[in-house]
Amino acid sequence: MKKRSFAIIALAAMGLSLTACGNSGSAAKTETTAAGTEMAGEKAAEAKSEETTAAAEAKAEVKEIKGDAIKKIVEDKKEKENYMIVDVRSPEEYAAGHINFAINMPLDTIKDHLSEIEDWKDKNVIVYCNSGKKSGEAADILVSNGFTKVYNGEGVKKFSYDLKTFGNIRAKELMEKAKDALVVDAREAKDFEAGHFATAVNVNSEDPATIDAILPDDKNTLIITHCYSGNRSAVAAEYIASKGYTNVWNCLDGTKEVEYDFSKGDK
């Protein structure tokens, strides 16, 4: 009788041992499955990240743009608002004649001034020079710094552009220099009266007589033109430059695009 009881107890103990082993195996299997799932998730995330990076790099590929296409852009008052044009030649070459609405950012200093066009990182930026070589280098710099829609334009020695001798600046520079400049405001009189720089005079860009009336005797006077979007002011700037004034700048950022602090013009 005692032998039979011992046999039953032994069998029960073996059963518990087998159950415990089975549970342990199940737990190990669950842990392995969880680890595999986590690893698969990480690999999927890495793959997605690589795809996103690859897509971004593909999107940021520098494209070529011909002179006739640039010419059409700058001649269209609305279309030119969709592009920032950057002349990467020297200041001297820029002053001698550049594409309309282009700002000057020489290749040798462009890295130090990228913040000036930071707001154009995801917009169309055209860079150009004389031949396309320096602008090609500049385009690569822009792309490596996160600019996504960069075009290398046909050089001024390869296409017959209508070059301008007045310069172009942006809103920040206008506000920095307004107090030391003659600001030529080409907006309508009602808007001028509602608010303007203290150093500003109001003109009608389509009436040269109104511009002649405000021009100073000193042809080296710093003159900055501005309006709603840079179009009327460009007309005024070109006329003033044609009269022999050598320090004329048009502001590309108009009052429709920037909320100006006109007090910056106070002396």
CB 43 within 8 A of CB 69: no
Catalytic residue among 21, 129, 227, 251: 129
CB 160 within 8 A of CB 134: no
Measured distance CA(80)–CA(227) in Å, rounded: 15
Q: How far is CA 238 from CA 8, 15, 23, 142, 165, in A?
A: 110, 100, 87, 30, 8
Q: Provide φ and ψ at 182, rounded to 5°.
A: -90, 110
CB 135 within 8 A of CB 153: yes
Tell me the HSE value of 168 on the side-chain side, using a 13 A CA sphere. Answer: 25
Instruction: Locate 210 and state its tokens.
Output: 């109104």
The closest of 146, 103, 144, 110 to 126, measured between CA atoms, is 103
Does the annotation count 21 as an active-site position? no
If you ran DSSP here, which 8-state letter would residue 240 be given?
H
Q: Where are the alpha helices (DSSP H) in the chain?
A: 2-59, 67-75, 91-96, 133-144, 171-177, 189-194, 208-212, 231-242
Measured distance CA(138)–CA(108) in Å, rounded: 9
Q: Which residues are catalytic?
A: 129
